[in-house]
A and B are shown apart, each in its own frame.
Chain A
Amino acid sequence: MKSETDDLSDVIKLISDIKHKTLLSSHDIALSTEKLLVNLISHGNWSSALDLMELIRRRIKCLSQSLPMEATATNIMRHILKVIREEFEVASKKKGEAHSLHHIVTGALSNILDYSESLTSLKAALLDHLSEYKTELETSAENIAAQASEHIHSNETILTFGSSRTVKMFLKSASKKRTFNVIVVEAAPLYLGHSLAVSLAKSNIQTTVIADSAVFAMMSRVNKVIIGTHTVLANGGLRAISGTHTVGLAAKHYSVPVMVLSHMYKFTPIYLGSNDHDTLNILANPATVIPYSSGAVLNKADIATPMFDYVPPELVTLFITHQGGNSPSYVYRLLSEVYHPDDYEI
C-alpha cells in the first residue's frame, strides 16, 4: 500500500506544537488540524477514498496515543472522514445511476460502497468542503456569541466557572444589549477565573470573583450558570475543568439552569465507563496544591491533582452550539450528524 511511505511527520509536528504550547486554545488546534488535512488532501499520497481514509485513521491513532486527552484534533479528523464518505457517495452517484427506491428500502447493495474506486472529482470537492468547514470553524465562536441576547436577560445574575474564550465572547456580546451581573468562580488551583474577571471588568460588566468554596452559598441568587467545557461526551456528560461538578450539583439543588457553550468539534463519541475515571483524567503537577518546599510530608504522601471533572448529563440543561440550543439527550443525534458510526472507534 502507498500509505507505507507516509511518514506521519505532519501529525507529529502537530503533537509537538501542542506539547510545546505553541498551540494553546482548542480553536488554534482546530485551525491547524484543518490546515494539516488540507495539506494531506492536496499533496498527500492517495488515489482513492479508501487510501485517504486510511491515512487519516493512522493520524487519529497516532494523536490519541500520544495525547489521549486531546479531543479536538481527532474529532475534526473524524468529521472529515464522514465528509469523505459523503462526498464519495455524491460523486459516485453522479457517475452512475441514481439509487432506486427499491435499493434504498432494502439497502442490500448500496450500503457497501467500494471506496477504493478512484474518482477524479473527489479531491476538488473535498477541498471545497474543507474551505467551507474552515469558515465554519472561524465563525463558530461568533455564531455562539450571537445567541447571547436570547439567553441572557436584563438584570440577571450569571455564574461562570474558570475561564473559557467562548464564554467570554458570549458575555461580552450580551453586554452590548443588556446589563447584568457576572459571578466568576476563580477555579483553584490554576485560578483562570481571575483573568476572565479582569477581562470582563474591562468591558464594563459588573463582575464579582468568588472562591470555589463559595459556589453553593452564591448559587441561590444566580439566575443562570454559563460554562465552557473541555469535551462533551457521547451521553451528554461533560469532561470539564475540575470543580465544574460542584457547580452543577449546586445549580441542580437550586434549580438553576446550566448552559454549556461548546463548539461542534468538542463533541466526542466516547462514553465514560464506571472504571474509566482514571483514563479520562490528567493528574497535573501537585506543586500547585502543596508546594514542593513543604519538605518531609511529601516523602510519604501520594498527591493527586486531577485536571478534569466528569459532569453527568442530568446536571446540564442546554448545550449551545453554533447551530443553536440542544438538550443533552439529543447529543447522540448530533454525533451521528457529525461523524459516521463506523468511525466512532478507531
Chain B
Amino acid sequence: MSKKKEVVMKENAVQAVLVADTFGEEFTPITKDVPLCLFPLVDKLLIDYTLEFLSLGGVEETFIFCCNRVAEVKLHINECIRKTVGWTLTMKVHIIVSESCHSFGDCLRDLDAKGLIRSDFILLEPGVVSNISLLPLLKKHRETCQVDKGAAMTVLFQESGLGHMSLCPEDEALVAVNSNNRVLFHKKTYKSSQKKVDFPLEMFLENSSVSIYHNLKDTHITICSSSVLPLFSDNFDFQTKDDFVRGLLMNEEIMGSTVYCNILRGTDYGGAIFNWRTYQSISLEMKNKFLYPLVPISKIGKFLNSPVTTTSLVKNTEVPRSSVLLRSIIGENSTIGENVHIQDSFIFDNVKIEDDVRISLSVIGPNCVIKKGSKVTAGSILGEGVVIDESLLIENSLVQATLDDNVQLEDKIGEHAFRLRLEEDEDDIELDKALAKRMSRLHVYDLVGEQSEYESDATFSESEEELSHIHSPPPDDTNLFFSEVIDSLTRGFDDNLQCDNLILEINSSRYAYNITVKEVNFNVIKAILIMSHNLPEGTQYFSSFAKLLSYFTPILRNYIKNESAMMDCLKAIEEVATSDFQVKDKWVIFVLKYFYEKDHLNETEILKWFDTLEPKSTVHNQAKPFAEWLQEAEEEDSDE
C-alpha cells in the first residue's frame, strides 16, 4: 500500500532545484576549501537552513547541483539522512554532480538534458535562505499560467527599505510591473554607469497601470514553468537568471514567454548569500529572527547579553572578560585570548586568536591562527589554515595558506600566509570595479562609513536637483512666452497691425507654452508697459505713452475682464515700476489715472492693491496722491 502511495506522490511531487555554487570569485579564498553550501550560518550550515526552508515550504523532491567539493557535500547530506534531521521525512534530496558546468545557465542546460523535471518547479540560486510557504506561490503561478500560456517564470521579490543593509548595491534593480504582476521592465541599475533610466514608451501605452519599484530585494527564488529549461538550452548566452529575465523581456514577441513577479511583504523573508556583504546581512537578520520559524536554537548557540558583547554569538568558546566582541559570530571550538577586540567579523570553527589581537570587518576561515598583537581589518578574508605571525597588519586583503599559481612569492606574509591579488591581476582596474569588490565585502558600520554613504547620497540628490532645474518647465516657458508677447506687440505697434490678430497670436503662444490665464494677464500688461521705456524722452513722453495705450485698448479690454484680472494688471504695474528701468516720477500716477479713466480698472481694486503695498516704498509714494484722490472722491460720493 505504501509503495502505491509513494508512486502517486512522485508524480505530483513538488520539485525544487538548488544550484549550490556561485561560479565567481566572491568567496575566495575560503571557497577553495569550504563549498558555499557548507558555510556556517549562525549555528548551522547554510545548506541545512536551505533544505529546512524547502521542506517547511512544502517541497518534496530537491535536486542539488554541486560543482565544488562534491564529496564533502554528499557526506553531509548522508549524515543528515542518517540522523533523520527534520527535512528528511518529507523531502528527497538528490545530488547532481556537474563538474563540466561553469555557470548557472550550464547547470540548467544539464538539468534539461537529464529530463528530471516533470512540471513547475522552484529554482534557487546559490545561498538561498527563506521562510516562505512555497505552495500558495506555486498555486498562484499555475493560475497565472492558465491565463497566460507563455508565463515562464515568477520571480519573488521582497519589499525592503532603501538604506537597508540587505539591499546590496550589486543587486539593486529597477522593476516595472503591470496590474497583473507581469514584469515589463527589469534593469540592474548598478551595472550601468548612467544615472538616467529610459523606459520604453509602449510600456505606458499598452498598460493601464504600471508600478515601478526601486525598493525590492531579489530573493533569488523563482518559480519556473517547465518551459524554462528548454529556453535555457535554446539560448546558450543565458548564463544567469538575470540574463534569462533580460533576454525574455527583450525578445518577448519572438520567444513568446513572459515573466511575472510576486512581492513578499509582512513576515515573509527571502534572501541569498552571494557575497560577503549578504553573508553578513543574512547572518544578522537570522540572529534578529527575521527568518522565524527558522531560528538558531538558543540552547546550542548562546547569545551573550553583557553590554560589551552586544549581539555577538559564541559557540563552545570561552571569551575572557578583557575581550570585547561586537556584532560578531564566533564558530565552534575557537580560543580567544586576553584583551582581544573583535568587531563586525565572522570567525569560523577552530580558530585560535591570541592575546591583544584586533579584528574588524573581516572573515577568518576555519583552522586559522592569529598570533599575538596582530591586526586584521578592513574587509580582509583569511582562507583555511592561515597563520598570521605576531604583530602583523593585514588590511583589505585576501590571504590564503598555500602557494599556488595565483600567488607570487613576494606576496608571502608568513609560512602559511600568502596574499592573493585578485583585483590587481586585471589589467584595467576601473575605479568602479575596485569599489564593487570593496562593497561586496562587509558592510561598514562605523561613523566614517555611514557618513561617506550619506555623502554619496547627498551628491546624487544634488545632481538630480540640478537636472530638474535645467529641465523644469515653468520659469523657462513663462520667460519665453513673455519675450514672444513683447515681440508680437512691438511688431504690431510698429506695423500698425490689427489688435485682434495680436490677441490671436498671444493666445496661440499661450497654449504653446502652457501658461495660466493669470500669468497671461500679468505678462501682457507688463509687456505693454515695458514698451513705454522705448518711447522718446521729453515733454512728449506722456502723450506718446497715451497714444500707445490707446492703440492697445482692444487688447487691454480683452485681457482685463474681471476683478482678479485687474489685480494682475496692478501687479504688473507694480512690477514694471520697481524694475530696473528708470521710470519717471509721474509714471505710476499717469498709468493708474489712464487705466481708471478708460475703465480698465475700478477704484475698489486700486485701493485694495494700494493697501497691499509696502508703506514708504517708491511705488507706494508715487501711487499715494492718486489713491487719496480716489478715497476723497468716494467719500464725496457717499456724502451726496
Query: Which A residues have a C-beta under 8 Å from some C-beta of B?
Result: 7-9, 12-13, 15-16, 19-20, 65-66, 68, 278-279, 283-288, 291-300, 302-303, 305
Contacts and interface: CB of A to CB of B under 8 A. Distances in A.
Contact of B84 (A9, A20, A65, A284): A9
Contact of B90 (A7, A20, A66, A288): A20
Contact of B288 (A8, A286, A294): A286
A121 B55 CA distance: 42
B164 A299 contact: yes
B269 A292 contact: yes
Contact of B299 (A15, A16, A20, A68): A68
Given A8-B84, A20-B56, A305-B289, A296 B164 contact: yes
B247 interface: no
B293 interface: yes
B621 interface: no
Interface of B: 55-56, 58, 84, 86-87, 89-90, 131, 158-165, 215, 265-267, 269, 288-293, 295, 297-299, 310-311, 443, 445
Contacts of B215: 293
A279 B298 CA distance: 8
> Quick one: which of A278, A294, A302 has the most chain B CB within 10 A?
A302
Contacts of B164: 292, 295-296, 298-299
A12 B86 contact: yes
A297 B89 CA distance: 39
Contacts of A65: 299
A19 B289 contact: no
Given A7-B84, A12-B84, A300-B445, A285 B289 contact: yes
Contacts of B163: 295-296, 299
Given A16-B90, A298-B164, A299-B164, A283 B295 contact: yes
Nearest to A189: B267
Contact of A15 (B86, B161, B293, B298): B86
Contacts, number: 92
B86 A16 contact: yes
Contact of B290 (A19, A68, A285): A285
17 contacts: A9-B84, A12-B84, A12-B86, A12-B89, A16-B90, A20-B56, A284-B289, A284-B292, A285-B269, A287-B269, A288-B266, A292-B265, A295-B164, A296-B163, A298-B288, A299-B443, A302-B288
Contacts of A9: 84, 89
Kindly list the 9 A-B residue pairs having the minimum CB-CB distance in the complex, ordered from nearest. Answer: A295-B161, A296-B163, A285-B292, A285-B267, A299-B165, A287-B267, A293-B159, A295-B163, A293-B161
Contacts of A298: 161, 164-165, 288
Contacts of A303: 288
B293 A19 contact: yes
Contact of A292 (B89, B159, B299): B159
A286 B55 CA distance: 23
A286 B293 CA distance: 11
A117 to B, nearest CB: 32
A22 to B, nearest CB: 10
A192 to B, nearest CB: 15
Nearest to B443: A299
Contacts of B265: 291-293
> Quick one: which of B131, B161, B165 has the most chain A CB within 10 A?
B161
Contacts of B267: 285, 287-288
A166 B230 CA distance: 54
A45 B445 CA distance: 58
Contacts of B293: 19
A294 B161 contact: yes
A283 B289 contact: yes
Contacts of A288: 266-267
A8 B83 CA distance: 10
A303 B86 CA distance: 28
A13 B298 CA distance: 22
